Amino acid sequence: MSDDLYELGDPIADGKVPAGPIEDRWTTRKFEAKQINPANKRKKKIIIIGTGLAGGSAGATLGEAGYHVQQFCFQDSPRRAHSIAAQGGINAAKNYRNDGDSVYRLFYETVKGGDFRSRESNVYRLADISRNIIDQCVAQGVPFAREYGGLLDNRSFGGTQVSRTFYARGQTGQQLLLGAYQALMRQVEAGNVELFPRHEMLDLIMEDGRARGVVVRNLINGEVKNYTADAVVLASGGYGNVYFLSTNAMGSNVTASWRAHRHGALFANPCYTQIHPTCIPVSGDHQSKLTLMSESLRNDGRVWVPKKAKDERRPADIPEDERDYYLERIYPSFGNLVPRDIASRAAKNVCDEGRGVGPGGLGVYLDFSDAIGRLGRDKVEAKYGNLFEMYERITGENPYDTPMRIYPAVHYTMGGLWVDYDLESTVPGLFVIGEANFSDHGANRLGASALMQGLADGYFVLPATINDYIAKNALPPVADTAIAEAQERVNGRIDKLLSIDGDRSVDSFHRELGHIMWEYCGMERTEEGLRKALELIPALREEFWKRVKVTGKGEELNQQLEKAGRVADFLELGELMVIDALHRAESCGGHFRAESQDEEGEAKRDDDAFGYVAAWGWSGEGAKPVLHKETLNFEYVKPTQRSYK
Amino acid sequence: MKLTLRVWRQSDPQDKGKMVEYKLDDISPDASFLEMLDVLNEKLIADGSEPVAFDHDCREGICGMCSLVINGTPHGPERNTTTCQLHMRKFKDGEVIDVEPWRAKAFPVVKDLVVDRSAFDRIIQSGGYITAPTGTAPEAHSTPVPKPDADAAFEAAECIGCGACVAACPNGSAALFLGAKITHLGLMPQGQPERWDRAVSMLDTHDDEGFGGCTNTGECTVACPKGIGLDVIGRLNGDYLKASAGGKKK
């Protein structure tokens, strides 16, 4: 297949992971990293794109360390970053429940949950640092849930049997983000961080193969400006909006990552998309996005569908023995708490059998009547009240009286720019943190691990490694020509988008791309479908550049122009996702290839053929991407068939 | 549903601005208010006109970016609801709906329905945090927090910084926003050392930014999509007074 879709490039080494026992590697790396003395840090400039959990915590920490940080976000305030919407919680191996949890167990479960497609050394470090994150956030005043003794409360989450998840009702992401945001604001006041809200990065400034700055557009007045630095950090989040309908915020996009990819940053595992099992089903074609409900609901809610297909009775009228609690039936030891990929596919399967509920049969029940009976309505309300309220607001149904309806939706992307152990991409001087990188979740992210990774990268990992790069490299002032070239690229692209003046709106293209992606590169993929998508996407892209209509001018607040640039990048990324999904002829985690399943319909991995990270290189518009493989070695957690039965 | 919208159009901060009428039919009652505006914009683009600029992002009621004064009320008629979570089923078929930006001296209009709320960031910069250096925090369980305090702190911390309180206030005061942060941080043991300085410096910044004084009209708490109560303003006033009496006032 390599002939028709891609070229095979050189393999890549597992960059910069120190040798030795896994529990010592991070200590070793930190010790070996070159330091910069505090007086010199003030003269060093770092640019950060994005202000979510990863970017916000990195900006606060690097500012505090004494660097001169310039930080950009497209929202009107750093506090709006989409991390704020994370509901459920953050994992940490504190073992406060005395239930046998440990760093090693969190490490083990994360590697296994990611279906053995992540890098052991990174995951171990993540599990280890998780404990410091909680300490950090508590010190900042993050109001985590507490018990009557004043100590922190915990709950359990999908894919795990211990209670290691710290939470703040159903708004954990909001509280963690506000913690990072406040720490960042403190650095702004101290003069260490310069903040640029309503600015969007549109290109990288490159010199001698290094990332030396960015070109941004001021979204208020359209001014295109450049900023240079010693290093650039992308903390710009995931690319789930390629599907149009997803749980991502409307502005979430891939542009910063994609521009970097076009300058040589490898894009790893783009096909790994997490479909989240507990979203509110689609209600109509006006819909602009999907709303997720925390999967912590699965702790107490029981998932079921009628046993009989096309059963249109109200849920209350369906007697107990005519209900199929299918997760509890198929996966008795994990039940409703199976990992996200398993829960999502199981929902799809029962709906495919015609047993789905609600409009169009695309939904399953999440029923709290047992929990309300067992705990009482007050306890259920204390735990999940805001989620219930949100559900009622959106659907007009009261979940205390009737079961919620849920269906899977695109939520998180495990793929992203390839980074080494230092979180540096294949473009020297370009670091990538949080959801924007590919590193820690493998083919499937466990619940409550995204917040953990964002904060681990921003508060602890990046600040310990970026010194080393800046200290080791002479970084002279950037030549005017390099800046001018980058600026030229950005202006040219804006002019092009504005000059087409076609007859189709940006959104209409985005919606169409989303349909293609969901249909052929969604919860289940087949070779035939993926090949079909490879015919449709390039044609759509061609049409976009001929027929898109972008109203208004460049020199003003122009939301259509903003969207158009992002959709143009999604149209290129979508094709790469499909190529990646097509080449990976195995099932793993969020990537389920129908051709690769066992007799019971469970995903069948092929470690011998695909036990690697697929890192794709850009080779020009219309040219075949180049596949570089990073072989994954498992010294500690031996790959086994994942079983949750 | 059929609707008549009267929308505030203003091309830039210098423009005088005016209400412009648009007719829509075939709006789904299940659409959110912002999705209804998406439909309007698609129609405007198809007609070759400029779409309406408005702020929004998460569309889940948590990021605080959506705004809009709808029929004279910030975030519309439904209590405890952001604009993105307001659904068209709450309106009547054939209704005439006015849509305007936040109106407040400290929130200048940028374009159409978009306003500049960066004054809120500057209030937080002046003390809305706990000084905790990264990487060296004490073990989390070494600082117990009584559950009632933790719960009350959390409820104040739910403020999404949308600015509806300011838009609703006849004086354009941000006392509810300010009080929410003062209450959140002031209720926790970690927030005690800076408590008095925080109250003084945040309130000073609030005044410098052009927000008005609080005269307890209570409109803010009615408009707040997160149901933040007036008690947070009581705490703000209490802390400010104590700080002033203690000679902390600059």
Q: What integer best gives the mean pLDDT of chain B? A: 96
Yes or no, beta carbons of B27 and A463 under 8 Å apart: no
Q: Min CA distance, B176 vs chain A (Å)?
A: 17
pLDDT at site A285: 81
B32 interaction partners in chain A (CB closer than 8 Å)? 288
Interface test with A, best of B33, B47, B50, B57 (most A CBs within 10 A): B57
Residue B148 has pLDDT above 60, yes or no: yes
Give residue A128's pLDDT.
98
Question: Is 80 exceeded by the pLDDT of residue A3?
Answer: no
Contacts of B131 in chain A (CB under 8 A): 186
Nearest CA to A106 out of A165, A55, A52, A56 is that of A165
Cα separation, A611 vs A423, in Å, equals: 21
Tell me: the pLDDT tens digits for A106-121? 999 999 999 999 999 9
Query: Residue B249: what pLDDT?
Result: 52
Are the beta carbons of B58 and A183 separated by less than 8 Å?
no
Residue B124 scores a pLDDT above 70: yes
Determine, for residues A168 and B154 on separate chains, whether the beta-carbon distance falls below 8 Å. yes
Q: Residue B109: its chain A contacts at CB < 8 A?
A: none
- pLDDT at A156 > cutoff 80: yes
End-to-end CA distance of chain A: 36
Chain pair A-B, CB pairs under 8 angstroms: 215
- Token digits of residue A476: 């002279």
B215 touches chain A (CB under 8 A): no
State whether ipTM is beyond 0.85. yes
* Residues of chain B neighbouring A84 (CB-CB closer than 8 A): 58, 62-63
Q: Residue A276: list chain B partners with CB under 8 A.
A: none
Hey, which residues 90-129 in chain B have their CB within 8 Å of chain A?
Answer: 110-111, 114, 116-118, 120-121, 124-126, 128-129
The mean pLDDT value for A468-496 works out to 97
- In the three-class reduction of DSSP (H, G, I as helix; E, B as strand; rest coil), residue A319 is classed as coil
Of B50, B58, B81, the CB nearest to A552: B50
Tell me the pTM.
0.96
Residue A139 C-alpha, separation from nearest chain B C-alpha, in angstroms: 6
Q: How far is CA B33 from CA A320, B39, B227, in A?
A: 39, 10, 20
Q: Which two tokens stand for residue A619?
A: 């080779």
Is B65 in Cβ contact with A138 (below 8 Å)?
no
Measure the CA–CA gap between A398 and B110, rounded to whole angstroms.
Answer: 39
Distance from chain centroid for Cα B96: 25
CA distance B218 to chain A (A): 24
Chain B contact set for A551 (CB, 8 A): 45, 48-51
Are A64 and B132 in contact (CB < 8 Å)?
Answer: no
pLDDT tens digits for range A196-227: 999 999 999 999 999 999 999 999 999 999 99
Contact, A340 vs A296, CB < 8 A? no
* DSSP conformation letters of chain B: --EEEEEEE-SSTTS--EEEEEEE----TTSBHHHHHHHHHHHHHHTT-PPPP-----SSS-S-----EETTEET-SSTT--GGG-BGGGS-TT-EEEEE----TTS-EEETTEE--HHHHHHHHTT-S----TT-PPPGGGS---HHHHHHHHHHHT-----HHHHH-TT---HHHHHHHHHHHHTSGGGSTTHHHHHHHHHHHHHHTT--------HHHHH-TT---THHHHHHHHHHHHHHHTT---
The C-alpha of B120 sits at a distance from chain A's nearest C-alpha, in angstroms, of: 9
Does the CB of B50 have a partner CB in chain A at under 8 Å? Answer: yes
Two structure tokens written together for A445: 């992210």
Q: For the segment A434-478, what is each residue's pLDDT rounded down to a tens digit?
A: 999 999 999 999 989 999 999 999 999 999 999 999 999 989 999
Mode of pairing for the β-strands spanning A302-306 and A323-324: antiparallel
Q: Residue A309 pLDDT > 70, yes or no?
A: yes
Counting residues of chain A whose pLDDT is more than 90, the rounded percentage is 88
Angle at alpha carbon of residue B53, lines to B118 and B31, rounded to 5°: 110
For the stretch A11-26, pLDDT in tens is: 998 889 999 999 999 9
Q: Of the candidates A362, A630, A331, which has an alpha carbon nearest to the alpha carbon of residue A518?
A: A362
- Structure confidence at residue B248 (pLDDT): 60
How far apart CA A447 and CA A531 sit, in angstroms, is 32
* Chain B residue nearest residue A282, CA to CA: B30
Q: In the annotation, is A125 catalytic?
A: no
Rounded to the nearest integer, the mean pLDDT of chain A is 95
Burial (0-12, 13-18, 19+ Cβ within 10 Å), A34: exposed
Class of residue A540 by CB neighbours under 10 A (exposed 0-12, middle 13-18, buried 19+): middle
**Which of B15, B42, B124 to mutate to test binding with chain A, by most A CBs within 10 Å of its CB?**
B124
Is pLDDT above 90 for A304?
Answer: yes
State residue A359's pLDDT score.
85
CA angle A487, A493, A496 (to 5 degrees): 140
Q: Which residues of A touch B61 (CB under 8 A)?
A: 390, 393
Instruction: Answer whether B31 sits within 8 Å of A189, measured CB to CB.
Output: no
pLDDT of residue A383: 84
Q: Which of A25, A80, A340, A355 is catalytic?
A: A340
Nearest to B128 among A134, A136, A182 (CB): A182
Q: Collapse the DSSP code of A299 into the 3-class scheme (helix H, G, I; strand E, B; otherwise coil) and give the result.
A: helix
pLDDT for the residue A508: 97
pLDDT at A157 over 90: no
User: Does B140 sit within 8 Å of A138, measured CB to CB?
Assistant: yes
Q: Which residue of A has its CA nearest to B187?
A: A141
Show the tokens assigned to A215: 């070109």
* R_g (Cα) of chain B, nearest Å: 20
Place of tokens 């899977």: A408
Any A CB within 8 A of B134 CB? yes
Which chain B residues are within 8 Å of A86, Cβ to Cβ? none
**Do A76 and B118 meet the contact criterion of CB atoms below 8 Å apart?**
yes
Mean pLDDT of B171-197: 97
Shortest distance between the Cα of A372 and any Cα of chain B, in A, equals 22
Residue B163 contacts A where some CB pair is shorter than 8 Å = no
pLDDT tens sequence across A378-387: 999 988 888 8
- Looking at the predicted structure, is the pLDDT value of residue B242 above 80? yes
pLDDT at A339: 85
Contact A286 B27 (CB under 8 A): yes
Q: Does the beta-carbon distance from A76 to B116 stay under 8 Å? A: yes
CB pair distance less than 8 Å for B130 and A147 = no
Of A79, A84, A136, the CB nearest to B137: A136
Q: Contact B65/A459, CB-based, under 8 Å?
A: no
Question: What chain B residue is nearest to A149 in terms of C-alpha separation?
Answer: B146
A251-297 tens-digit pLDDT: 999 999 999 999 999 999 999 999 999 999 988 788 998 998 888 89
Q: Which residues of B touch A137 (CB under 8 A)?
A: 140
* CA–CA distance, A628 with A607 (Å, rounded to integer): 17
| Non-local CB neighbours of A296 within 8 Å, separated by 6+ positions | A87, A88, A89, A155, A157, A165, A167, A170, A383, A384, A447
Q: What is the pLDDT of residue A367?
A: 97
Chain B closest-CA separation from residue A630 CA (Å): 31
> Which whole number is the average pLDDT over B92-96?
97
Within 8 A by CB and 6+ apart from A439, the residues are A118, A119, A122, A416, A419, A423
Grouping H, G, I as helix, E, B as strand and the rest as coil, residue A488 is: helix
For A375-402, what is the mean pLDDT? 91
Instruction: Report chain A residues whose CB lies below 8 A from the CB of B188.
Output: 141, 143
